[in-house]
Amino acid sequence: MKKSLIEAFDIELKTEKDSVLNDYDIFPDKNLLETLRSKIIENIIDKEIPNNRKLSDFIDEEIDKCIENYDLTNLQRSHIFNMIEDEINGKGPLGELLKDKNITEIMVNGPKDIYVEIDGRIIKDDSVSFINDEHIVRTIQRLIQPLGRTIDSSNPMIDSRLEDGSRINAVIPPLSIKGPVITIRKFKSDMSSIDELLRIGTLTPYMATFLEACVQGKLNMIVCGGTGSGKTTLLNILSGFIDNDERIITIEDAAELRLKQNHVISLETRLVNYEIGNEVTIRDLVINALRMRPDRIIVGECRGKEAFDMLQAMNTGHDGSLTTLHANGSIDALNRLETMVLMSGLEIPIKAIREYIDSAIDVVICIERMADGKRKITDISELVGLNHGEITLEPIFKFTQHGITPSGNIDGEFELVKRKPKVYDKLISRGIKSIEDIFKDF
């Protein structure tokens, strides 16, 4: 009985090789590299090998056949082997990009149309490419196969997480008009502490101390920001301040949070498709979480009918709950929250909804990706009641931009608003003393 090359590789796992040089450093002739890669993939990918053959030996021999008429160095030949190995284990041309710790996002718009995000800036990467659209689809399938997922014309969209925690979104025709596209937001294991945010200038030490106090004092908090602003990263770091003896339930579409406490239950939604039966939404999971005796509920992103259930949890003894919202500012976040409560189908007067939000939420944190690509917490505000039927927000910390430096960096400063916030007394009454020095002069 024979097994295919793909099946053989699933059995015989190989150690990934770290490449120091770029493809085209090793192959100055770009056309030669593309020619060899296409030829080898077409000749090797669907071949079968006998059971008694060692995979690496088989690949070596097949590559030798394909390149026998080319004058290549040992380094070039080794690089081709590594390239084919990446093709077999599912990463394909994305192998080196996934290993590069400086890259935070990978966007494949077409076979030769690939972009990456580095230090908050999106740039086109010409060092990698796919052969054609089929090559992209095959890479998607191999990336998601270990997750128990598939993608095809009847199920042309996938949103899930890779084994390292990175999030993958892929869309193929007929939903994607121009062809298959991939977006991978990489999980940054080194961005797991408030110290790292301090190092890169996302906030100040006073702001870090205040946020830690808010979490430990069990204030209900919302993190808001635009796409790619760092909401989930900040939520993950804030969650790290929760005491180790608390029972925490996290709810997400795709599990990205990496909490290190002992008592964590992670729940993930389930989309309906032809492979799986009933859909399970974030709202379903929030409702169920209330029956699981949580000390804290953390919702990765609140964006629909679950908003009412989240507020209900915050208003019924589940203090210290956290969530994120897609919004461009504190006021926008509360307006969106109001709209989402209305989506729940309950006929509640606007005034009652606003009173409900005001009694549930203590603090709103806004994080923004600035024009220079750097993330900053631009606003930390508290809800202080209703004024003429409108929720009133008062800033505690804010970032003010003055301009842009000649080098393209944002010129600005963080400011502590000179007043003692309403939440100060609540935190002090709960035994949180670390904020006394911050507000001692107010």
Q: Which amino acid, residue 197?
A: L
- The rounded mean pLDDT for the chain is 84
Task: Please give the full DSSP string across 393-412, using - where no structure is assigned.
Answer: EEEEEEEEEEEE-TTS-EEE
**CB contact at 8 A, 268 and 254:** yes
Q: Which pLDDT score, from 0 to 100, does residue 1 have?
A: 40
pLDDT tens, residue by residue, 351-369: 999 999 999 999 999 999 9
What percentage of the chain has pLDDT greater than the value 70? Answer: 87
pLDDT tens, residue by residue, 2-27: 444 444 434 333 333 344 455 556 76
- Distance CA(343)–CA(388), nearest Å, equals 24
Structural domains in the chain, sorted by start: 1-89 (no CATH), 91-187 (3.30.450.90), 194-429 (3.40.50.300)
Query: What is the CA 377 to chain-centroid distance, rounded?
Result: 18
- Distance CA(210)–CA(379), nearest Å, equals 13
Range ranked top by mean pLDDT from 4-13, 229-238, 375-384 = 375-384
Long-range contacts, 200-203 (Cβ 8 Å, 24+)? 200/374, 200/375, 201/374, 201/376, 202/230, 202/234, 202/367, 202/374, 202/375, 202/376, 202/377, 203/376, 203/377, 203/397, 203/414
Q: Which pLDDT score, from 0 to 100, does residue 221 have?
A: 96
Burial (Cβ within 10 Å: 0-12, 13-18, ≥19) of residue 420:
middle
- Distance CA(402)–CA(410), nearest Å, equals 8
When pLDDT is cut at 50, 70 and 90, the band that residue 326 belongs to is very high
What percentage of the chain has pLDDT greater than the value 90? Answer: 45
- Distance CA(34)–CA(43), nearest Å, equals 14
Q: Which pLDDT score, from 0 to 100, does residue 90 have?
A: 59
Which two structure tokens, joined as six digits, stand for 102?
């400086």
- Distance CA(85)–CA(95), nearest Å, equals 9
Tally of residues, the chain:
442
Which two structure tokens, joined as six digits, stand for 90?
């599912």
Q: What is the pTM of this model?
A: 0.74
Q: Which pLDDT score, from 0 to 100, does residue 13 have?
A: 35
Mean pLDDT, residues 384-401:
94
When pLDDT is cut at 50, 70 and 90, the band that residue 80 belongs to is confident
Q: Which amino acid, residue 352?
A: A
When pLDDT is cut at 50, 70 and 90, the band that residue 345 belongs to is confident
CA distances from 350 to 333, 335, 346, 361 (A): 16, 11, 11, 16
